[in-house]
Structure formats: C-alpha cells, structure tokens
C-alpha cells in the first residue's frame, strides 16, 4: 500500500471498529432516520406512502393516545419505585453483610434472567389467578374485594413489570454500594454522626450513580414494554408499546406507529436529562456506561 | 455487637431472602408445572406428577420447529455479534482515534432505546427496502442489539488488563493481527466467552424485537406468546427449564476453565496474576453498564 507508516497506524483502530459500526449504522441509525421520515408520510399500505411533512400525525397521535402514554409512564414509574425499594436493602446486604454468600446471591439475582421472559410473565398469570393462593390471601386481609381480582388490572401489569426488571435495579445498586470506601462511613460515625445520619449523608449520596443507572435500566425498557400489559392486563391496561405494535402489525398504520415511537423516545430522552439534573449527575454517559 | 445492630442485620437479611424468593417463585413454578399431569388445554392447576412431558418435549412439531429456529438464530447471532463486538471493544479501549467518544456513545445508544422502537424502525426499513421478513431479518435484528452488550462485557475485561503486554509484543515485531490473535485474544478469552453466553441468552429470549421482524418464522418466545390464548403446553416448561440448565452449565464451564487457567498461570509465573478472573457472565454484563 502506498501509505506511510503513520497513516497506516491511524487506520488500525478503524479496521477494528468499522465492521461493528457499519452494522449499527445500517441496522440501527438508518432505520431510526427512516422511521423519522415515515412518521411524516401520508398514504396507505395499498397505494403506498409519500413524504408530505405531515406534522399533524404527531399532534393527533398525542391527542389520540395520551391515555396510553400517561399509563406507560405511570406503570413504568411505579415499577421503578417498587424495584428501588425492594432492591436497595438487598444490594446493601450483598455489598456489606453477605460475606461468603455474596457470589451465590449475585448468581441467584441473575439466574431468573435465563428462564424465558415470556414464560416467566405467563407464570404470573398463574400466581395472580382469581382462585389462586395469593388472591385468596389478599381477599382474607381485605386488600382485594371478595369478588375482586388482581389479574387483568393495572396492579398485575405493574407487578409483572417490577418483577421482570428487578435484576436491572439490583446489579447497578450493588456495584455502586460495593465501591464505596467504608472508611468514609467510619469517619462519619467517629465524628459522632448517628448511623442514620451517616447513611443519609455518606452512603446514600455515594450510591446515587447506582440509583441513577438502575432507575434508567428499569424505566426505559418498562416504558416500551407491551408483553406484561398484553399477558397480565386487558386493552384497558394497554401501554404505548401495545399501540405501536398493533399499529405496525395489525392496523398497518405505519406513520402513526412511527410518530408514536418517536414521541416515546423523545419523552424518555428529555426525562433522562431532567432526572440527571435532579440527581446532580453531571456527565450522563459517565453514569450510564 | 449491639442489639439494635443485630436486629437491623436480621431485618436486612430477611428482606433480602424475601426479595430473592420473589425472583424465584415464577421460575420454581415453571419447573414444577413441567411435571404436571394436566388434563385439558390449560396448565394452571396442579393435577399430579408425570414425566411424560420430559420424555417427549418435541411432541408438537410447531414447537420443535420454533425451538430449532431459536437455537439456530442464537448460534448465528452469537458468532456475528461476538466477532463485531470484540473488535469494536478493542478499538475503543486499545487505541486512540478521532471520534472515539462519539463512537462509544453510539454503541451505547441501542441499549438506551426501547426495544419496541428498535423493532418497529427496523421493520419499517425492511418494508421500505422491500425485504421480506423471516429468519435472516431476525438474525440481523438480534446482532444489532446484542453487539452493544458484547462490547460492554469485553470492554470491562480489556480495561482491567495491562496494555504494556501488547505493546511489548509489537516492540518485538509482532504485527497488528498477530498481536491481536496471539496476545490480546487469549487474555480476553474469558470475557469473550462470557459475552457469547450473554448474547446467546439475549437472542434466545427476545420477544419484542423479534415479533416485529419475524414474518412467518416462529421462534420459541413467539410460540409461547401465541400459545397463551389456547393454553401454554407443559412441553414449553420443559424446554424453558432445559434452556436454563444449559446456560447454567455453560456459565459453570466458563468459570471452571478460567479457574484452571488461572491456576496454570500461577504455577508458571509463581505469582498470582495481577487481575482477578472476571466474574461470572451476567455480573459482567449489566453491572458493567452501571459501572
């Protein structure tokens, strides 16, 4: 090759990077760009579509499906909070108290991942069945009315989402907690901070990157999820993912489906930025990668 | 230890055990109901123990075909994603080049995008391009969203490694590829294997993206979802359990080989390796995302 040594040296990293980057450009970036143009098209499946810059698809998509949007964020937000509450003590125990059980516990946290996702969700149909043990007990204590049910309600969908994404919350929390230098906490207690104050002023602030990463890892997939709503809910519990899926695969209304997925992405991105401001995480990618 | 401390530790322990139990109940039920002697279509109530489903897990030809597709797709996906992802990870950690930060962010993006958006936009492109969806479009989609996980996993391994070893090889006259195959690859092998197991597991398990790009092709998760209306046959539970055990065996094997290799290295060098072996597969995945 007629290249100088320094030119060739500069090409080396690209040699490694280009096959993978090219794949992601062709099958991730270009489809997203294409999706953007589809969302501005009008037409129907038979006659074909043409780009008419139909921005009103966006406004009508929002007004027609604001209920499903709100429900998506409500369910995903509720599941994220539930997971944070369940996961924090577990991650704390694994990081500081588990001793030689730590690795076993880590394995147990990720093991359910390897049982089929759809199958695990189906098994929640069995757990929350109307005449099942769980619902009977909830009736006994009066949390569910005698003729009430859990399956086919928002509660079931939230429970399913919280269950399915729990490991995504546990792992980053564990990593963040495990990384904290315990001498900071000792220093705080030596300086007469109570246990609670030391936790609130030292451990919790240092765990924030984990809380941030865990919340995103739960919230983002939960927002777009439609498996839980489809299997544990009814059309009255449908989330935006269900709408996108049926628009694409059943109704064949591609522009609306494309607009809906773009709105979802935009809201999530804006949410991430606001959330990172709220938690004071300066560098977004630093926290997430 | 003060009494209040002990009480607090007990509370934490009980909470943790309950959380793990919560994670395990569905898995336990799936395994249990693979032995259920169910009458009728639905497999929702326990009616007695039988081994029948385990003897003939592939009785339904549609299920057998779906499983075969899933395994094939996972195999092709894993090879492609590991190849592309490992090279990318090496480029991102071992070299400095213009646009590196942007490239790293770009690779991370598919993981931050809701799956329904990934699946829908890919389908839209296939429709525009006039490509029929089926086996190969599923593979394309799976490679696209598993590459990022491979990069993250392999990168975690690379970052913990001494770059001077590779520089030494190059100083001694090894070319770029010789260095990669003879030095880098053997050192990151455990990470690569972990990434492969992770990619295979994600591919076999995917429903959302696959549902958009499958056309008439059935996969294991698509079959289960489709079967929910008429009742999921217990053979599905058998196959799900087999997959779980299979992945566990692979992970265990990876760990055992790593330990054996580490022991051999210690014997040769007479001192412990500077890096502890990477943790088991999944810990390297999502936790690396968080780290």
Chain A positions touching B108 (Cβ under 8 A) are: 285, 288-289
User: Across all residues in chain B, what is the average pLDDT?
Assistant: 86
My answer on whether A27 and A127 are in the same domain is no
Q: Are B213 and B122 in contact (CB under 8 A)?
A: yes
Domain boundaries, chain B: 58-290
Residue of A1, A25, A27 to mutate when probing chain B, most B C-beta within 10 A: A27
Decide if A126 is inside a domain: yes
Contact across the interface for B124 and A122, Cβ inside 8 Å? no
The pTM (predicted TM-score) of the whole model is 0.85
Instruction: Find the mean pLDDT for residues B119-138.
Output: 91
Q: Would you call B224 and A29 a contact, using CB atoms and an 8 Å cutoff?
A: no
Output the pLDDT for position B283: 41
Q: Which of A89, A112, A217 sits opposite B24 (nearest CB)?
A: A112
State both tokens at A14: 């690209």
Q: Which residues contact A240 (CB under 8 A, 6 or more apart)?
A: A65, A68, A69, A71, A72, A223, A224, A260, A264
CB pairs under 8 A between A and B: 284
* Residues A91 and A221 reside in one and the same domain: yes
Alpha-carbon distance A287 to nearest alpha carbon in chain B (angstroms) = 7
Chain A residues with CB under 8 Å of B95 CB are 12-13, 16
pLDDT at site A169: 94
Instruction: Judge whether residue A249 has pLDDT over 60.
Output: yes
**How many angstroms separate the CA of residue A152 from the nearest CA in chain B?**
14
User: How close does chain A come to B290, measured CA to CA in Å?
Assistant: 5
Identify the residue among A6, A10, A25, A28 best suited for mutation to test binding to B, counting B beta carbons within 10 A and taking the highest.
A28
Interface contact A172-B286, CB threshold 8 A:
yes
- Collapsing DSSP states into helix, strand and coil, what is residue A43? strand
How far is the C-alpha of B237 from the C-alpha of B42, rounded, in Å?
13
Q: If we measure between CA atoms, which residue out of B118, B162, B161, B160 comes closest to residue B140? A: B118
Distance from CA of B291 to the nearest CA of A (A): 6
Alpha carbons A250 and A15: distance in angstroms, whole number: 42
Instruction: Let me know if residue A59 belongs to a domain.
Output: no
Same domain, A24 and A104: no
Give strand pairing partners of B36.
B49
Please say whether the structural domain B58-290 has been given the CATH code 1.10.3720.10. yes
Angle at A74 between CA A34 and CA A141, to 5 degrees: 145
Total domains present in chain A? 2
Query: Is B20 in contact with A231 (Cβ distance < 8 A)?
Result: no
Decide if A127 and B123 are in contact by the 8 Å CB cutoff: no
Last residue of some domain: A7, A32, A54?
Answer: A54
Determine if residue B215 is left, alpha or beta; phi over 0 gives left, psi from -120 to 50 gives alpha, anything else beta.
left
Cβ contact A116–B221 (<8 Å): yes
Across the range A163-192, mean pLDDT stands at 89
Mean pLDDT of chain A: 87
User: Is residue B148 predicted with pLDDT exceeding 60?
Assistant: yes
Whether the predicted pLDDT of B276 surpasses 60? no
CA distance B94 to chain A (A): 8
pLDDT given for residue B275 in this prediction: 53
Residues A251 and B124: beta-carbon distance below 8 Å: no
DSSP A124-176: HHHHT-TTSHHHHHHHHTTSS-TT--STTSHHHHHHHHHHHHHHHHHHHHHHH
Instruction: Evaluate whether B114 touches A221 at the Cβ level (below 8 Å).
Output: yes
The minimal CB distance from B44 to the residues A90, A111, A129 is found for A129
Predicted confidence (pLDDT) at residue A48 exceeds the cutoff of 60: yes
Residue-wise pLDDT for B9-46, tens only, equals: 899 999 999 999 999 999 999 999 999 888 777 777 78
Which pair of structure tokens corresponds to residue A56? 């009103």
What range does the domain containing A135 cover?
65-288
Least confident stretch, A54-58, A92-96, A241-245, B64-68:
A54-58
In terms of domains, do A72 and A29 share one? Answer: no
| Per-residue model confidence (pLDDT) at position B43 | 77
Residue A208 lies in a domain: yes
A30 and A108 in one domain? no
Instruction: Show residues of chain B in contact with A32, CB under 8 Å.
Output: 117, 121
Structure tokens at A64: 């027609």
Is A15 domain-assigned?
no
Contacts of B154 in chain A (CB under 8 A): none
A136 with A214, same domain? yes
The C-alpha atoms of residue A208 and residue A276 are separated, in whole angstroms, by 10
Could you tell me which residues are beta bridge partners of residue A44? Answer: A48
A28, A54, A80 - which closes a domain: A54
Q: Are residues A216 and A119 in the same domain?
A: yes
Say if residue A69 is in the same domain as residue A161. Answer: yes
CB contact under 8 A, A106 and B279: yes
Q: Are residues A267 and A135 in the same domain?
A: yes
End-to-end CA distance of chain B: 33
Q: In the numeric block, which tokens belong to residue B19?
A: 């959380």
Same domain (yes/no): A130, A26: no
Global ipTM: 0.84
> How many CB atoms are closer than 10 A to CB B290?
23
- B280 pLDDT more than 70: no
Residue A131 maps to a domain: yes
pLDDT range class, residue A158, cuts 50, 70, 90: very high
Most confident residue range from A69-83, B5-19, B238-252: A69-83
Residue A14 lies in a domain: no
> Do A185 and A274 sit in the same domain of this protein?
yes
pLDDT at B19 (0 to 100): 95
In this complex, do B211 and A28 lie within 8 Å of one another by their Cβ atoms? no
Q: Is residue A115 part of a domain?
A: yes
> Does B124 sit within 8 Å of A38, measured CB to CB?
yes
Residues A33 and A112 placed together within one structural domain of the fold: no
- CATH code for position A175: 1.10.3720.10
Gap between the Cα atoms of A47 and A50, Å rounded: 10
* Structural contact between residues A112 and A120, judged by C-beta atoms closer than 8 angstroms: yes
Query: Which has the closest alpha carbon to B94: B199, B174, B183?
Result: B183
């Amino acid at each position: 090759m007629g290249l100088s040594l320094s030119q060739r040296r500069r090409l080396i990293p690209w040699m490694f990077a280009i096959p993978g980057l090219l794949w992601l450009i062709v099958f991730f970036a270009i489809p997203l760009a294409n999706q953007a143009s589809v969302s501005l098209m009008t037409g129907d499946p038979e006659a074909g579509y043409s780009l008419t810059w139909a921005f009103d698809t966006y406004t009508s998509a929002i007004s027609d499906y604001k209920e499903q949007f709100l429900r998506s964020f409500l369910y995903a937000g509720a599941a994220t909070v539930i997971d944070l509450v369940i996961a924090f003590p577990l991650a704390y125990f694994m990081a500081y108290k588990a001793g030689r059980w730590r690795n076993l516990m880590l394995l147990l946290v990720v093991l359910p991942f390897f049982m089929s996702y759809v199958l695990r969700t189906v098994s929640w149909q069995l757990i929350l069945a109307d005449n099942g043990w769980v619902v009977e007990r909830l009736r006994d204590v009066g949390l569910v009315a005698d003729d009430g049910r859990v399956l086919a309600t928002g509660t079931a969908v939230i429970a399913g989402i919280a269950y399915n994404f729990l490991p995504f919350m546990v792992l980053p929390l564990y990593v963040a907690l495990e990384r904290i230098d315990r001498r900071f906490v000792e220093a705080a207690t030596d300086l007469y901070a109570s246990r609670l104050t030391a936790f609130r002023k030292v451990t919790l602030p240092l765990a924030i990157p984990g809380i941030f990463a865990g919340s995103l890892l739960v919230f983002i997939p939960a927002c777009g999820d439609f498996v839980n709503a489809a299997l544990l809910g009814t059309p009255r519990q449908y989330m935006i993912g269900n709408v996108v899926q049926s628009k694409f695969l059943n109704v064949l209304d591609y522009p609306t489906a494309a607009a809906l997925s773009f709105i979802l992405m935009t809201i999530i991105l804006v949410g991430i930025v606001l959330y990172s401001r709220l938690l004071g995480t300066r560098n977004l990618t630093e926290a997430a990668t | 230890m003060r009494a209040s401390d002990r009480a607090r530790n007990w509370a934490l322990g009980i909470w943790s055990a309950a959380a793990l139990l919560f994670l395990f109940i569905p898995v336990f039920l799936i395994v249990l109901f693979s032995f259920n002697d169910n009458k009728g279509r639905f497999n929702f109530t326990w009616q007695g123990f039988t081994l029948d489903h385990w003897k003939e897990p592939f009785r339904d030809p549609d299920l057998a075909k779906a499983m075969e597709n899933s395994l094939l797709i996972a195999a092709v996906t894993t090879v492609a994603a590991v190849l592309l992802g490992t090279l990318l990870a090496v480029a991102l950690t071992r070299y400095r080049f213009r646009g590196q930060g942007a490239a790293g962010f770009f690779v991370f993006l598919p993981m931050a995008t809701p799956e329904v958006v990934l699946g829908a936009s890919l389908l839209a492109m296939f429709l525009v391009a006039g490509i029929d969806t089926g086996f190969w479009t599923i593979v394309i989609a799976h490679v696209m969203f598993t590459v990022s996980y491979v990069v993250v996993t392999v990168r975690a391994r690379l970052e913990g490694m001494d770059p001077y070893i590779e520089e030494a090889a190059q100083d001694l006259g090894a070319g770029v590829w010789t260095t990669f195959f003879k030095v880098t690859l053997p050192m990151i092998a455990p990470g690569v294997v972990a990434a492969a197991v992770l990619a295979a597991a994600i591919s076999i398990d995917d429903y959302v993206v696959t549902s958009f790009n499958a056309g008439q092709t059935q996969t294991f998760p698509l079959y289960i979802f489709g079967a929910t209306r008429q009742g999921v046959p217990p053979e599905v539970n058998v196959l799900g359990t087999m997959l779980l055990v299979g992945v566990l065996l692979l992970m265990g094997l990876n760990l055992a080989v790593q330990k054996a290799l580490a022991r051999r290295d210690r014997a040769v060098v007479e001192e412990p390796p500077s890096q502890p072996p990477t943790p088991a597969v999944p810990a390297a995945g999502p936790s690396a995302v968080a780290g």
